[in-house]
Amino acid sequence: MLTAELLSGLRTLLDEATEEFWTDEECYTALSNGQSEYISIILAQYKAKSLINPSEPIPEILKPLYTESVQSIVGATTLALPPTFLYDISVYLGAPYEKALLKRELSKSRRFEQANIYSSGNGEYYSIDGTNINLEIDNVPVSLSVTFDYLVKPTYIGALIEPILPDFTHNSVITYAYAELLKKTGNRFDEADRQFKLFLSLVKYI
């Protein structure tokens, strides 16, 4: 669906074809929140699956958020995270390393399994502290190319900005938006809760 169709679908549920009680901007905000919530749920599931299987493929739903950044650093081991950063996928070093780094932040079970590797000092790693990518490597070269694959934050759904998720998620997004606006009325909490539950039932990990 296009943004106009999302807005129309939401207004149909609200029984308000044009701006009366709810402005278009409020509807766009609710739709954007629905899109973000869908992404948040799928990303949480992807993270959990990745702890068990590090080779877990990125779900189709998150692929529109996937991007790649190539940067060159000089005599440094820290890169600033992009402002659109949501979640890291991989870090790959160019010459002389030519290898992907392991992520330092692991679950307790995997950290235990990797303890012998950490203690021996074999391999190179990266970690993320909230604002930077930190490369844990020896013999830092004068210049180094770093390829960073990551997911970006979803864009805001607006009059001129289309939704980023696939079409099959849009009914779910509309349902979430409807539930959010119902809750804001202050007197339709039961119906809002039913719609939130319906939203959750429509979320699919694909």
Give pTM, 2 decimals.
Answer: 0.85
- Residue scoring higher pLDDT (51 or 115): 51
* pLDDT score recorded for residue 123: 62
DSSP string, 179-199: HHHHHHTSS-HHHHHHHHHHH
Q: Who has greater pLDDT, 55 or 161?
A: 161
**Does residue 9 carry a pLDDT above 90?**
yes
pLDDT for the residue 112? 46
**pLDDT tens profile 172-196:** 999 999 999 999 988 888 999 999 9
Confidence label for 55 from pLDDT (cuts 50, 70 and 90)? confident
Q: CA 115 to CA 126: how far, in whole Å?
A: 16
CA atoms of 17 and 10, how far apart (whole Å): 9
125-128/102-103 β-pairing:
parallel
Whether residue 48 is predicted with pLDDT greater than 50 in this model: the reply is: yes
CB atoms near residue 106 (< 10 Å): 16
Greatest Cα-to-Cα distance within the chain, rounded to the nearest angstrom: 66
Cα-Cα-Cα-Cα dihedral sign, residues 51, 57, 59, 64: positive
Mean pLDDT for the stretch of residues 50-60: 90
Q: What is the pLDDT of residue 146?
A: 94
